[in-house]
Amino acid sequence: MNRTTLSLIAATTALAAVTAFAALDGPSASGAAAPEAAAYLPVERTSLLCPAPSISDIADTSYTSFTPVTQGTASSGKAQLQAVDEQSGDGTDNSQTGKGSKNSKNSKNSKGAKKTSDTPLLTPKAPGTPVTGDSSGADTPALIGTADGRFAPGWTVQETTEVAAGTGRGLQGVTCTEADTDFWFPGASTAASRTDYVHLTNPDDSAAVVDIELYGKDGALKSSLGENLTVPPHASKPILLSTLTDQRQPDLTVHVSVRSGRVGASVQALDDKVGGDWLAAAADPAGSLVLPGIPKDATDVRLIAFTPGGDDADLKVRLASPDGLITPAGSETLHVKSGMTTTADLGAVTRGEAGSLVLTPTDQSVPVVAALQVVRGKGDKQETAFIPATAPVGTRATSADNSANGTTLALTAPTATATVKVTASAGSEGGTPTTKTYTIKSGTTEDVPAPVPAGLQGTYALTVEAVSGGPVYASRTLSATESGIPGFTIQTLPSDRGMVAVPKTTQDLSVLQK
């Protein structure tokens, strides 16, 4: 490319940038009116990624898809979930070594992956009504989902798996995620009793290159095995953490960073004795964090925290109870050394009441990521779930796959009293939507009686909307007792990002004459 061509491209780019600046910047000196405020409009397309649910032959998995009704959407659109290709890019089956995913029955195409089937697992018929699907066994692949038009705003898919026995037995649940380039997972482990996988799913047409870093109590675990991992197009890889290091540590922070492309990432944490669950990515590093919805009957709660910056963090630890913020005895503060995973055993911190953990800086604000490992039950009837720090509900958040008796909705307002509207959708097989409004007092957590659709048949979705007041954080707990074991799984409810700010712009070439 010659210099003239480069100059022309540069000039054109500058013109576009200046034009955009003129349209978006404040009023000119001539007294022109300020531009109108950005309009919030429904998103037009959403993509979700669901990891392969289980390595157990006796696993039963259900998928629930739901889109809340949103004003201003297009009249058309569709949503569907389809299986990724189950074969690694080089045509080998190396899923059990943590180097790739399982062989597909389709052709061994070394140029990339293809979907295993053109038939979607789920195809919703209309917003406002959930649709379900199911699978069983260890061969269920990861799924790639897309929704557009009226199905895109707030589209949510829940993957829930029941495993009757063996490693990770109990109830495992995960909200299918959007692709991104950076993920933090405090709470993973390479202990002898744990089998933890990082699931990486690539929705795009080109390969993604990913690094996985592990941080223990003494800092980074040195290993080159997590560098430059390739995830083929439209494919998924489960990476067994114990294959990346020979160090066995009970508490790790996993950092997934994408060098090129983008992926969906989740950690499946399975224990030989106390069940297991999915560990979703924690909220981005921040000085203050909220971890909502610790079950009132939790028998053991463990806090895992990590600061990725160069400074240590000192955190004030408080529990938002139904009566207000209290300080757990013996765990008033937590010192988090830079680059080192730090833990605190909180025991049965909720003491029979609803609770959420609130972390704030004691002095200087230092960005931190954190998660809770929660155990219910005793002896050989224990089960485990995780609560990562999460973002607030914002305008709206959605939880799919709820039942009349097994759902607990926890709401917390850590800084100011808030009013929240909760809507129960129609059931997947019948039922009439219903809505309730709750007021959550400042500094408290409440397990609210979630509304249930009249005449419910099947499962239903809960949509949480912040009406007024301070920020609200939420989580949903699903419970199902099998053989006397209190199986449960917890999903946080950050904003579903169904609406996006679209600035009103106009061209103003007069700025070029000044």
- Asked, for residue 159, whether it belongs to a domain, the answer is yes
Percent of the chain with pLDDT over 90: 75
Give this prediction's pTM: 0.86
Query: At 7, which helix (H) or strand (E)?
Result: helix 3-24
Q: What are the tens digits of pLDDT across the range 224-251? A: 999 999 999 999 999 999 999 999 999 9
Domain of residue 53 covers 36-281+502-514
- Asked, for residue 255, whether it belongs to a domain, the answer is yes
**pLDDT at residue number 392:** 97
Percent of the chain with pLDDT over 70: 84
Q: What are the tens digits of pLDDT across the range 253-264? A: 999 999 999 999
Task: Please compute the mean of the pLDDT values over residues 366-392 and round it to a whole number.
Answer: 96
Asked if 259 and 228 count as a contact pair (C-beta separation under 8 A), the reply is: yes
Q: What are the tens digits of pLDDT across the range 299-326? A: 999 999 999 999 999 999 999 999 999 9
**pLDDT at residue number 338:** 97
Q: Which of 23-32, 198-207, 500-509 has the lowest mean pLDDT?
A: 23-32
Task: Sort strands 170-175 and 219-220 into parallel, antiparallel or unpaired.
Answer: unpaired
Separation between Cα atoms, residue 58 and residue 169, nearest integer Å: 10
Mean of the per-residue pLDDT values of the chain: 87
91: left (phi over 0), alpha (psi -120 to 50) or beta: left
CATH number for the domain that contains residue 193: 2.60.290.11
163 three-class SS: strand
Q: What are the tens digits of pLDDT across the range 320-345? A: 999 999 999 999 999 999 999 999 99
Q: What are the tens digits of pLDDT across the range 402-461? A: 999 999 999 999 999 999 999 999 999 999 999 999 999 999 999 999 999 999 999 999
Place of tokens 């097989």: 429
Confidence of residue 485 (pLDDT cuts 50, 70, 90): confident
Task: Please compute the mean of the pLDDT values over residues 153-167 and round it to a whole number.
Answer: 94
**pLDDT at residue number 509:** 66
Task: Please compute the mean of the pLDDT values over residues 356-361 and round it to a whole number.
Answer: 98
Whether 219 shows a pLDDT value over 80: the answer reads yes
Burial degree of 37 (CB within 10 A; 0-12, 13-18, 19+): exposed
Number of domains within the chain? 1
- Asked, for residue 73, whether it belongs to a domain, the answer is yes
**pLDDT at residue number 501:** 79
Task: Please compute the mean of the pLDDT values over residues 80-92 and round it to a whole number.
Answer: 62
As a 3-state breakdown, the chain gives helix, strand, coil percent values, each rounded to 5, of 5, 50, 45
Whether 105 shows a pLDDT value over 70: the answer reads no
Q: How far is CA 354 from CA 95, 251, 408, 466, 499, in A?
A: 40, 26, 10, 20, 31
**pLDDT at residue number 380:** 87
- Asked, for residue 11, whether it belongs to a domain, the answer is no
- Asked, for residue 144, whether it belongs to a domain, the answer is yes
- Asked, for residue 437, whether it belongs to a domain, the answer is no
**pLDDT at residue number 35:** 54
Separation between Cα atoms, residue 67 and residue 254, nearest integer Å: 31
Q: Which of 8-17, 26-35, 81-90, 311-320 has the lowest mean pLDDT?
A: 8-17
**pLDDT at residue number 208:** 98
- Asked, for residue 101, whether it belongs to a domain, the answer is yes
Whether 98 shows a pLDDT value over 60: the answer reads no
Q: Which of 113-122, 216-225, 274-283, 339-348 has the lowest mean pLDDT?
A: 113-122
Confidence of residue 37 (pLDDT cuts 50, 70, 90): low
Q: What are the tens digits of pLDDT across the range 18-30? A: 333 333 344 444 4
Task: Please compute the mean of the pLDDT values over residues 103-122 and round it to a whole number.
Answer: 45
Whether 466 shows a pLDDT value over 80: the answer reads yes
DSSP code for 121: S
- Asked, for residue 410, whether it belongs to a domain, the answer is no
**pLDDT at residue number 14:** 40
